[in-house]
Structure 1
Amino acid sequence: MTYQFTIIVPVYNEADNLLRVESELLNYLKIATVTTTVLFVNDGSSDNSQSLIETICKRNGAFEYISFKENKGLSAAIKAGFDHVDTNLVGYIDSDLQTTPEDFNILLEHIEAYELVTGVRSNRKDAFIKSMSSKIANGIRRTFTHDGMIDTGCPLKVMKTDYAKRIPMFRGLHRFLPAMIMLQHGRVKQVSVRHFPRIAGTGKFGFWNRLFGPLVDCFAYLWMKKKYINYDISKSSTRK
């Protein structure tokens, strides 16, 4: 089968969630509006995640995985996914299932006219401190990037793969994907998606790394924006 869309699922110590992830993704594949495959990226988990991922992939032909030797962080996992995929469209979803794969169809409705379509978590089900720190962090990022993104940290996105592969990723840059697409003169759209409470596993980001980390990363983004190389070819004699 020729696939059009790859869903990247970064995994770090999510053994308690993975069978639910399998079930939810299998249900989505039945209703997906484009032919879809799934790529797990195991970010050096120290629990039973890798064994479960291998079992899941063995019994589902549309599922694949890559696994890091050691934990490298969410940005590295997403970049590895971008590097690996060969479909025209790529997206990702967190393995905590606080968003639902079903909402990929909502994003896919708009992807033809945009280079990235990102979810906005409506009616968030997080604790007050988590929601407030995320809101502050989003405000800080908007001040630096002027990208207009309400919820850039939403773990539900779809983008055109050729744009995704050109993003020069560094640690923490997963928070700046819309801004990095816009640096390539790509078009970005925000769409409301559903949000659910975490019912298994534990969150990987705390209050301080939601606030201090993004602030530091904003300066890295500004440096990259100043140095970023972007060009358009007007003519070429090459056959590629």
Structure 2
Amino acid sequence: MPQAETKAPAFSVVIPALNEAESIAGLLQRIDAALEGRSYEIIVVDDGSEDDTGAQVQAGPAHWRLLSHDARGGQSAAIHSGVAAARAPLIVTLDADGQNPPEEIPKLLAAWEARAADPALGLIAGQRVKRQDTLAKRWASRAANTIRSAALKDGTRDTGCGLKIFRKDVFLELPFFNHMHRYLPALVARAGYEVGHVDVAHAHREAGASKYTNLQRALVGAVDLLGVMWLLRRRKAARATEITRADREETKS
């Protein structure tokens, strides 16, 4: 069972949601089943839904938390709001449409725990295998990933996968902009942290409708890519290390 409300959980699962009333309760129940025995909370960020998405979350147990945007802000804004409100130092994200199987979350956690002692680790990104999307969507995604990878050299095959695990403090260091969630590996590396990868499964959407078209992704992605390239070229190159009096005395001796 999740940790008691008075005690901070080990990790927070953050889910941006828009008009997912048909599937959100079932998704959260699957997350609970996949994470049984662990210490966690689930934060659903309702990004201006026009259906009962929020009501479905509020009808659940106490560790299902609901945040609601007063105006539609987009997926990156929803993730940012959820991370900022999280009570845990470690964040897991996935999409609300059910195409990121929650049964894959333990795989991400295992990969993180294997490197938990490494302070340089900032993010482990899921990379989808055997995509369950239309052929047109797979082609568009493949083209976008090829262009992005060549331009940013972020070492990531698939940045569109919602399944990710990262440190809250690292995420909040990153520059916020709309659609930033698609560039997290490059942004985390820009901040000086290491990025790991885990192959994860992908599922068909069983309810609701996609919030993007291939044309929308292409047009927005072209502008965002130029912006991220600009950010990478202007990253802070120096890191400060505190020098104590003891350090100075040791240098003198």
TM-score, normalised relative to structure 2:
0.87
**SS of residue matched to 1:61:** coil
Give the alignment of 1:218-229 within 5 angstroms: 218-229=225-236
Which residue is 1:80 aligned to?
81
Partner residue, 2:146: 139
Following superposition, which runs of at least 4 residues in structure 1 exceed 6 angstroms of deviation? none
Q: How does 1:142-153 map to 2 (within 5 A)?
A: 142-153=149-160
Give 1:146 deviation, angstroms: 0.6
User: What is the match of residue 64 of structure 1?
Assistant: 65
- Post-superposition Cα deviations, 1:117-162, rounded to whole Å, max 9, x if no partner, equal 1111111111101111111111121122110110111010001111
Aligned partners of 2:37 and 2:176: how far apart in 1?
32
- Tell me the residue number matched to 1:129: 136
1:38 partnered with 2:42: yes
| 1:52 alignment partner, one of 56, 60, 70 | 56
**TM-score, normalised with respect to structure 1:** 0.91
Equivalent residue letter for 1:184: A
- Structure 1 gaps, min length 5: none
Give the alignment partner of residue 28 of structure 1, picking from 31, 34, 55: 34
Q: Which amino acid aligns with 1:46?
A: E
AA matched with 2:231: M
Of 199, 203, 206, the match for 1:199:
206
- Give the C-alpha shift of residue 165 in structure 1: 1.2
Which structure: larger Rg?
Answer: 2
How many Å apart are 1:170 and its aligned residue? 0.2
Secondary structure at the residue paired with 2:43? strand
Count residues with an aligned counterpart: 232
Q: CA RMSD in A?
A: 1.6
Q: Percent identity?
A: 28
Residues 29 and 110 from structure 1, CA distance in 2 versus in 1: closer, same or farther, beyond 3 angstroms?
A: closer
Tell me if structure 2 keeps the 8 A contact 1:10–1:74.
yes
Alignment of 1:184 with 2:185, yes or no, is no
Aligned amino acid, residue 76 of structure 2: S
Give 1:53 shift: 2.1
Residue in structure 1 matching 2:8, options 2, 12, 24: 2
- Paired with 1:44 and 1:106, the residues of 2 have a C-alpha distance of 31
Q: Distance in 2 between matches of 1:231 and 1:65?
A: 39
Structure 2 spans left out of the alignment, 5+ residues: 1-6, 245-253
Task: Give the counterpart letter for 1:106 in structure 2.
Answer: K
CA displacement at 1:234 relative to structure 2 = 1.0
AA partner of residue 94 (structure 2): I
